[in-house]
Amino acid sequence: MKKTSILALLLLATLSFQSLAVKMPQASENEDPLNAFKSFDFATKEVLYDETLPVSLYKDGPQVTIPVTYKNPKVQFRTAWVSTVANIDISNVTKDPDLTAEEEFKAQVTVILDNFVDLNLNAVTFQVSPMLDAWYPSDISPWSQYLHQGGSDYTFQGVDPGFNGFDPLEWIISETHLRGMEFHAWFNPYRVTNTVDARPVEEKLSELAESNFARLNPELVYEFQNKLFLDPGKPEVVDFVIDRVEEVATKYDVDAIHLDDYFYPYKYAANGQDVTFFSQDIDKQTFLDYNRGFGEYTKENAAKWREDNINILISSIKESMDSINEQKESSIQFGVSPFGIWAHAEENIDGSNTPTGSTSSLRDQYADTRKWVKEGWVDYLTPQIYWAFNTAAAPYGELADWWNEQFEGVENSHLYVGHPNYKHVGASWDNNFKNPYEIPNQMRFNQKYDNIMGSAYFSYQQMLPKTVVTPGDKFDVLNNANEILKESYLNLPAQLPGKPWLDKARTEKVTEPTYVTVDGTINLSWTDTSSDSKFYTIYRQEGNLKKVDIKNPANLIARFGVKAGTHYVDADIEEGKTYTYAVTIVDNAAVESKETVFNKNDLEINVAALAVIEAIDRLPDAKTITLLDETEVIATRELVTALNDDNSVTNLKKLEAIEKNIAKLIRKN
């Protein structure tokens, strides 16, 4: 990233506005310069920009230029945050008296997951622990209060909403994987309460579940802005946060552990003044008790000590995930979505060109997010760049550019960008978000940077259609923004970025392909011998081809979990046309195997062979076979014999293994 020299800044100060416009670099032929947003015509869907007001990358920097077209990438991480805190994106499960809690949860989540698929997203980031609670049966955290109607009342915390043994997290992970998406388990590490409440700390703690860690350990809690938090400087707190994420990582088939941006608390305004965490000396005693060689209590020493507290947590979680991955032979990622500004160049030579009056994670939250990337403590980072290109306090272009630079040469971590869809309905904060093209412009801009490998949207509910109250209102802006994204930016599927540094096994391509045309559908089946397969991906092109272009996302027609089976039925075909397919495996680390081509002329078998294959598929596994299945096994063998074409039966080895075990059972009896 090019910084503006002092000499250049002095020269710029003497220029008139007209000469300033001349100094802006010319955009390349495939890029347009960006000017300030002027208006959006809801009838014609045209956006107008003020050509007299160029948008700079940062104050006194070059003009932002954006690629004219958007090219759908083959590989791109795509998710939306599903917030459970305060039921932002999902309702409680006790509001309908005619449904059980399990039924309500399944009904809601099914709609959510189907919408994710419809939007061509490929990962679900679900808030499993919004405070010190859980949306899953936990041995260390109480049931979340937000599972209950009236969830703002903390007395609901710890009460089973009526699941009666049903595990909602196990189910949602399974359903997510069946749809070909990753599941990222999102935790808030330190939050105890979420409401501004002036009552005494003891009274607030007494409302929490009896098993709540904060209620059991009040000495580990501090208060700021009349909210309660765990103290990051206490070793017991670090251990507890690690225990929470380890419980989920070991018990469930999650693809990632995800932390949000809440470390030490943000400053807040009171009586026209900013109130900062440090100004109240809240954790001075903790500093003195657990000093670790940071010297006397000064602002500078306390800041470095707090940074170290958070670094200890982040590095410890990464170490824990690496250990679990070795034990389970899994590929669980550890990711964080921090505040979008790390530090300011005026205060830190490595910082971004952003004004010092803006919040920064390093100075204000003691979160050294840049260090986490450089040290390899995160498998991905999703900075929340929740601003527009023309937001003076935090210009999007400068921050995207800065973050891309931090990932140069980093081979064991990915960079994604968090986008603020919610700001379209809160445009009073930033008038730029009255432009439905603001986030699409950001996505086109991201194409300029090789290290930006995906996007996350906050939040799920703001990606859904809203009822327009008055034409041209904030909901109209949001609907138009979503329509633009869906039709031109999320209109094609994308593969997940592979994480080869987390890969535990070589993934071979599928074998024994079959191609059957029956009843106006094309049926594919295959054999998978790889040990770490997670998803199957189907590509399709028209014609009788020897190769399918799997680099073109337009050819990607399906991705689904391996538990759905080693077969695919394509019912979306036109009579008289020939299709060639390719099937790949996406493993636990999202690394894609080589393709196996399914060519009609080379592979097509008859319907009788398909019937035999399906009959064998219906049989239990060889390990679970019993003598009660003997009659069905014999009948299946008779189908194979009648077919008289063993080469077309791709799963014959399964039948042979079953017959061998049946013979053993007969001898024993």
Over its C-alpha atoms, the chain yields an Rg (Å, rounded) of 28
Tell me, rounded to whole angstroms, the distance of Cα 435 from its chain centroid: 25
Residue 611 pLDDT? 82
Residue 12 pLDDT? 32
| Cβ 488 vs Cβ 578: under 8 Å | no
- Residues β-bridged to residue 40: 47
- Neighbouring residues of 591: CB distance < 8 A, sequence distance ≥ 6: 498, 499, 500, 503, 507
Peptide bond into 459 cis (omega under 30): yes
User: Which residue stretches of 604-643 are H helix?
Assistant: 607-618, 630-643
175 closest CA partner among 183, 163, 186: 183
Residue 15 pLDDT? 31
For residues 480, 449, 126 and 419, what is the CA-based torsion angle, rounded to 10 degrees? -40
**Placement of tokens 């603020």 in the chain:** 420
- Residue 269: helix, strand or coil by DSSP? strand
- Residues β-bridged to residue 598: 581
Rounded to whole angstroms, the Cα distance separating 563 from 561 reads 5
73 closest CA partner among 548, 408, 495, 587: 495
Residue 296 pLDDT? 97
Q: Which residues of 241-274 are buried (b: 16+ CB within 10 A; e: fewer)?
A: bbebbbbbbeebbbbbbbbbbbbbbbbeeeeeee
| Cβ 568 vs Cβ 592: under 8 Å | no
- In the chain (669 residues long), the average pLDDT of successive 10-residue segments reads 34 31 49 97 96 97 97 98 97 96 98 98 98 97 97 94 97 98 98 96 97 98 97 98 98 98 95 91 97 96 98 98 97 98 98 97 98 98 98 98 98 98 86 96 98 98 97 96 98 98 95 91 95 97 96 98 97 94 98 96 73 90 91 94 84 93 90
What the block records as the tokens of 618 is 């219906």
Rounded to whole angstroms, the Cα distance separating 152 from 150 reads 5
Instruction: Evaluate the CA torsion angle 82, 87, 92, 96 in order and state its sign.
Output: negative
| Cβ 365 vs Cβ 264: under 8 Å | yes
Residue 215 pLDDT? 98
What the block records as the tokens of 616 is 């064998």
Residue 24 pLDDT? 37
The secondary structure of residue 153, as a DSSP letter, is S
